Each structure stands twice: as C-alpha cells, then as structure tokens.
C-alpha cells in the first residue's frame, strides 16, 4: 500500500505549447524532450491512511496544487478497484526553484509511478505516462529516460496521448544541457495560463502547432544520427517559434529578459569561433544550452560571462524508478 519513486525533469527540444482539452491536458501538437540527470524528485504514496494528505517540499499543499494530486490518486484508486482508502503523498525535489526548471514534470512522473505501485497495479510506462499527463502535461515525458516523444493523440478521451521513449539515455552520452540561471524571479504568467492565452488570442497559433508537429520526426532523425549542429539549429528555431506565437498574443506575452537576448547573441558569436553551443528556452528567461561533454565548461563560462547567477550542468537521465515497495 506504500511505494516511493524517483523521476528526473525534462527539457523539451520541440516544445508543448497549447491544449486542445484543458481538463484532460491534451495538447494541440506532439513534442519531444530529453530527460535530465542528476536533478530529481522523490515521491512516496501510501494508501489506507486516515485522511488525504499532500506534502510538497516540506509544506502542506493547498488549493489547485492539492486538487491536482488528489485527482491523480483518485484515478489510480478507480483503476485498482476503488477500495484503497485515503492517501498520503510526500514529494521532495533535490533541486531548488533557482535551478530554473519546474519540478512539476518530475513530481507528477514520480507520483504516477509510485501511486500505481502502491495500489498494486503493474509497472506500465504507457499507463504511468497518461496518469502523469493529467497532473501536468510535460510530466508524461519524464516517466522514461533519454529522448521521449509525447504524441498528441487523436482520441477525445486522451487514451492515446502519452510519451514514448525514442532513444534511451545511453544513446548519446556525450550530450550536455547547461541550465543558465539569469533571473530567479517568479514569472508573472505561469505556463498553464500563458499557453491558454496564446491559443485564445495569437493569430500565429495554428502555424505554430502545424510546424511543431513536423519538427518532431525531424528531431528524431537528427538524434538518431547524433548530429549536434542540426539538433542545436532545430532546438533554437523551435524555441523562437514558440516565443514568437506568444509575442503575437493579445496582450503580448514576453518571457524573455534583456540578458536572455544578450546570451543568445553571445552564443552566435561563440559559434562563429567554433564553439558548438546552442540554446532552448522554456516559458521563462533562463536559457538551457545544448552542447557536448568537451564544451560544457566553455558553455558554463559563457553563461556566467552573460550574467548567469547560477549554472546547472546536466546529462541525459534515465527512467523514473521505484525505490522501495512495502
């Protein structure tokens, strides 16, 4: 009735930006990401306790945070036959908010794997990915390691909208992602609200969704042949296009800071000098640099030269794993 799982966050190279179904968290387009080690979230779920309890990083969760977790646990209860009783969930990340990466993706992936095990359900990456998706869309891509593709799916109930692993973490061990923390302020518009606003008001939205869909198989082909330059170029143009559709919303949505553009400009100059480093950018000001093991120190140095207050170096991470079962 109790299980603990550990999962890593992921960074999208082809981004998810916009839902066709808000309640089920179904995206308009497919996306593709890399799971990141060593950052992780560890989550314990125990059924059959006296009342529902949700604890995130040492604090009792309230409001919509608590509701999202309880809804996921309710789905597991229903699948297991409904007689598991109230649940206690305790989740803790080993990376601070200043790491610039949301812990919700790793958190809901760990929750999905732990809750299914605690309920006695069989290990099933597809079912865990669907469950994680209902908590936070990008979480469906953290159930497995390496490069994962979240297929948008076609069904109205979301049963075919989950992530599949395209290459595991051993496929391209020299690949490095360097998170450049330029600004630690909490962003004004959360991803969930920003993507809805973009879908509702950006005239570029349809073009974004169409383009992202065709970039996913191109990214898979590039990763297959481990072409860093081609992957860097694809990641940059996809990040620019996601931000462009947000810039075109009404009122406009801009997640970049002036020093985000400064760093991007600096990367271009460094590439002319032969340093293989590219960026991707989520819904925030902090770029993630894409490079190889031979250039991660150089990538960190250039991030710091552009004002990074902190830098986190990451390597391809593995599957969400069960730590213990009682």
Residues within the interface to ligand 2P0 (CB under 6 A): 12, 15-17, 25, 31, 102, 104, 136-138, 191-192, 282-283
Q: How far is the CB of 24 from ligand 2P0 (least distance, A)?
A: 10
CB nearer to ligand 2P0: pick between 249 and 302 = 249
Q: How far is the CB of 35 from ligand 2P0 (least distance, A)?
A: 12
Helix (H, G, I), strand (E, B) or coil at 240: helix
CB nearer to ligand 2P0: pick between 25 and 222 = 25
CB nearer to ligand 2P0: pick between 12 and 41 = 12
Query: What 3 state SS string does 129-165 have?
Result: HHHHHHHCHHHHHHCCCCEEEECCCCCCCCCCCCEEE
CA distance 242 to 56: 30
Q: How far is the CB of 193 from ligand 2P0 (least distance, A)?
A: 9
Residue 177 bridge partners (DSSP): 290, 314
In the bound state, the residue with its beta carbon closest to ligand 2P0 is 137
Q: How far is the CB of 264 from ligand 2P0 (least distance, A)?
A: 16
Q: How far is the CB of 316 from ligand 2P0 (least distance, A)?
A: 16
CB nearer to ligand 2P0: pick between 89 and 283 = 283
Is 24 exposed, middle or buried (CB count within 10 Å of its CB: 0-12, 13-18, 19+)? middle
> In whole angstroms, what separates CA 132 from the centre of its chain?
11
For the four alpha carbons of 304, 302, 170 and 168, in that order, the dihedral sign comes to positive
CB nearer to ligand 2P0: pick between 46 and 149 = 149
């Amino acid at each position: 009735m109790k299980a603990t799982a550990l999962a890593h966050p992921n960074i999208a190279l082809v981004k998810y930006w916009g839902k066709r179904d808000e309640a089920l968290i179904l995206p308009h387009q497919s996306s593709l990401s890399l799971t990141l080690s060593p950052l992780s979230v560890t989550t314990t779920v125990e059924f059959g306790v006296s009342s529902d309890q949700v604890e995130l990083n040492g604090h009792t969760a309230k409001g919509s945070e608590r509701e999202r977790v309880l809804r996921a646990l309710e789905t597991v209860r229903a699948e297991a036959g409904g007689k598991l009783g109230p649940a206690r969930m305790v989740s803790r990340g080993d990376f601070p908010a200043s790491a610039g990466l949301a812990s919700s993706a790793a958190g809901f992936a760990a929750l999905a794997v732990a809750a299914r095990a605690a309920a006695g359900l069989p290990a099933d990456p597809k079912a865990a990915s669907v469950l994680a998706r209902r908590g936070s869309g990008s979480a469906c891509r953290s159930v497995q390691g390496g490069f994962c593709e979240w297929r948008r799916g076609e069904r109205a109930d979301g049963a075919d909208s989950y992530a599949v692993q395209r290459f595991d973490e051993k496929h391209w061990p020299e690949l490095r992602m360097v998170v450049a923390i330029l600004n630690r302020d909490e962003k004004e518009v959360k991803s969930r609200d920003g993507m809805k606003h973009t879908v509702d008001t950006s005239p570029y939205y349809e073009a974004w969704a169409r383009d992202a869909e065709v970039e996913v198989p191109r990214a898979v082909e590039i990763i297959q042949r481990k072409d860093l330059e081609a992957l860097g170029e694809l990641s940059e143009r996809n990040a620019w296009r996601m931000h462009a559709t947000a810039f075109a919303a009404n009122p406009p949505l801009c997640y970049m800071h002036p020093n985000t553009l400064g760093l991007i400009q600096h990367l271009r100059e460094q590439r002319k000098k032969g340093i293989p480093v590219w960026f991707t950018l989520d819904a925030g000001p902090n770029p993630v640099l894409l490079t190889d093991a031979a250039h991660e120190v150089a990538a960190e140095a250039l991030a710091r030269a552009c004002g990074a207050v902190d830098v986190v170096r990451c390597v391809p991470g593995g599957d969400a794993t069960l730590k213990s079962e009682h």
